């Protein structure tokens, strides 16, 4: 079962790197500190002869100048980054997970210098079929430096990459040694991607009943992309259990949520399998 769950969710996460609110707050903080420093320099250079009123006026003028300058620079950077993000988005939607996409992604996030970027890049590697690279990138992270949620995401990505690669032995080994983190993650409110990963694992192990239950639970997540993946997963469960009508219904449901080349391909694969099942039964 090939994935597509992370990438479109990650595009939205990546966009937060270039948040206008973040730029405004940074400009505000820079202006506060810079204006205070400028006021102190003004007071010292003038022989400390001016009173508080004059110093406050100097602070106000310095604040306006610094805030405006920082805001102007951040606006230019915001527009530039937005253009880069548009190119990144267009690349994944039109070309899929090409080498060009990964070059743009690494450049956009600023390399793999911190754990946050490592998790983001590794998840996209898993989606793009670069399974060994995904796990290699994850091993670059300082696991102890990750937050509890980050540790859960670390193993979630690693397990999902093994499942997408079709290495069930490795997947079960990863789950066995990290079950504590998965158990903890499923207790959180936003556990949709973890539930989906566990559903894929259960489906791969042939546990259709529990896989269906987990896909249903994960499908309550607000992400359209994740709900698409859960529809595909439920369709597979129904197909494996002989419920052709249910699987066909899931195809229609998934079609309303499909986005991008990778999801369209997986939807087509399920639809063809459903058609094949109907053909073998001699019914329509």
Answer whether 267's CB lies under 8 Å from 102's CB: no
The verdict on residue 232 lying in a domain is yes
What DSSP element (H or E) covers 162?
helix 148-165
Predicted pLDDT at 53: 77
Query: How far, in Å, CA of 159 to CA of 269, rounded?
Result: 23
| Three-class secondary structure of residue 273 per DSSP | helix
Which of 133, 151, 183 finishes a domain?
183
Sign of dihedral through CA atoms 157, 126, 235, 224? positive
The verdict on residue 44 lying in a domain is yes
Query: How far, in Å, CA of 145 to CA of 209, rounded?
Result: 37
**Which CATH number characterizes residue 278's domain?**
1.25.40
Predicted pLDDT at 8: 47
| Residue 180 burial class via C-beta count within 10 angstroms: exposed 0-12, middle 13-18, buried 19 and up | exposed
Predicted pLDDT at 250: 96
Mark whether 270 and 227 lie in a shared domain: yes
Mark whether 193 and 172 lie in a shared domain: no
Query: How far, in Å, CA of 139 to CA of 131, rounded?
Result: 13
- The pLDDT tens digits for 131-159 are 999 999 999 999 999 999 999 999 999 99
190: left (phi over 0), alpha (psi -120 to 50) or beta: beta
> Which residues span the domain enclosing 5?
1-91
Sign of dihedral through CA atoms 22, 27, 29, 30? positive
Predicted pLDDT at 10: 56
Query: How far, in Å, CA of 118 to CA of 272, rounded?
Result: 36
Residues of the chain with pLDDT under 50: 1-3, 8-9
- Residue 272's CB: how many other CB atoms inside 10 A? 10
- The pLDDT tens digits for 16-26 are 555 666 767 77
Answer whether 221's CB lies under 8 Å from 190's CB: yes
Mark whether 77 and 124 lie in a shared domain: no
Answer whether 120's CB lies under 8 Å from 109's CB: yes
The verdict on residue 99 lying in a domain is no
Predicted pLDDT at 30: 76
What DSSP element (H or E) covers 90?
helix 52-94
Predicted pLDDT at 101: 85
Mark whether 31 and 116 lie in a shared domain: no
Q: How many CA atoms lie within 13 Å of 17's alpha carbon, on the beta-carbon side?
A: 19
CA 54 to chain centre: 51
For 35-68, give the DSSP string. Answer: HHHHHHHHHHHTTT-S-HHHHHHHHHHHHHHHHH
Query: How far, in Å, CA of 175 to CA of 126, rounded?
Result: 17
pTM: 0.73
The verdict on residue 235 lying in a domain is yes
Domain count, the chain: 3
Mark whether 125 and 210 lie in a shared domain: no
The verdict on residue 101 lying in a domain is no
The verdict on residue 41 lying in a domain is yes
């Amino acid at each position: 079962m090939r994935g597509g769950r992370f990438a479109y969710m990650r595009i939205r996460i990546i966009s937060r790197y270039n948040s206008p609110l973040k730029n405004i707050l940074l400009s505000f903080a820079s202006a506060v500190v810079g204006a205070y420093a400028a006021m102190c320099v003004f007071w010292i250079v003038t022989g400390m002869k001016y009173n508080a009123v004059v110093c406050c006026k100097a602070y106000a003028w310095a604040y306006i100048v610094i805030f405006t300058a920082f805001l102007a620079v951040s606006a230019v950077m915001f527009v530039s980054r937005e253009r880069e993000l548009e190119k990144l988005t267009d690349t994944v939607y039109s070309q899929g997970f090409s080498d060009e996409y990964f070059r743009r992604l690494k450049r956009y996030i600023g390399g793999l210098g911190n754990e946050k970027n490592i998790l983001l890049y590794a998840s996209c590697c898993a989606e793009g079929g670069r399974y060994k690279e995904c796990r290699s990138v994850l091993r670059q992270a300082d696991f102890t430096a990750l937050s509890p949620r980050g540790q859960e995401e670390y193993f979630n990505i690693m397990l999902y990459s093994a499942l997408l690669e079709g290495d069930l032995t490795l997947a079960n080994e990863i789950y066995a040694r990290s079950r504590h983190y998965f158990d903890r993650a499923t207790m959180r409110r936003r556990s949709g991607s973890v539930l989906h990963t566990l559903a894929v694992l259960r489906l791969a192990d042939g546990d259709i009943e529990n896989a269906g239950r987990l896909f249903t639970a994960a499908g309550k997540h607000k992400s359209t992309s994740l709900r698409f993946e859960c529809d595909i997963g439920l369709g597979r469960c129904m197909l494996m259990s002989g419920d052709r009508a249910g699987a066909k219904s899931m195809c229609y449901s998934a079609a309303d949520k499909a986005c991008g080349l990778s999801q369209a391909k997986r939807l087509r694969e399920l639809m063809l399998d459903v058609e094949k099942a109907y053909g073998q039964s001699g019914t329509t």
